[in-house]
């Protein structure tokens, strides 16, 4: 008699575990939340929701394509500039090179002057 009761009890537990496992299998996974720790005690950051892995994978591929497109674009511009320089007469070519040097020097001086006015960047030039 006690053996039957124990057997029935174990079978009911086993059956209920299987049923609950089947029910939760079809349910979509809830997005995970990342806990954020604030450095300052007065401020609290909101927890950001982390999306599914497939969305992250697609985003990574898209970013990689964008980087490659940008790289190819820069390469094409550089090739075009070199070609435009090659087809010029030698004296014009020298003048173009000198103009590039002058404009680069002016840009550096202007950037240095602007950044030296700001507090953090100015420490570099004081």
Does the CA dihedral 83-89-92-97 come out positive or negative?
A: positive
Mention every residue, 6+ apart, whose C-beta is less than 8 A from residue 112.
125
Q: Could you tell me the two tokens for 122?
A: 């100015």
pTM of structure: 0.42
pLDDT tens digit sequence for 99-126: 999 999 999 998 888 777 776 665 665 4
Instruction: Give the pLDDT confidence of 3-61 residue by residue, as tens digits.
Output: 777 878 777 776 666 555 555 556 666 666 655 555 566 666 777 777 788 888 999 99
Helical residues (DSSP H) of 1-126, grouped into ranges: 2-25, 53-86, 90-117, 119-122
């Amino acid at each position: 008699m006690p053996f039957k009761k124990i057997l029935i009890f174990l079978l009911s537990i086993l059956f209920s575990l299987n049923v609950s496992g089947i029910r939760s299998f079809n349910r979509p996974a809830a997005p995970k939340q990342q806990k954020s720790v604030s450095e300052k005690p007065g401020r609290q950051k909101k927890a950001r929701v982390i999306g599914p892995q497939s969305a992250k994978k697609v985003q990574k591929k898209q970013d990689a394509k964008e980087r490659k497109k940008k790289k190819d674009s820069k390469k094409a511009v550089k090739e075009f500039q070199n070609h435009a320089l090659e087809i010029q007469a030698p004296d014009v070519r020298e003048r173009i090179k000198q103009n590039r040097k002058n404009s680069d020097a002016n840009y550096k001086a202007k950037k240095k002057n602007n950044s030296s006015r700001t507090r953090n960047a100015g420490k570099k030039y004081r």
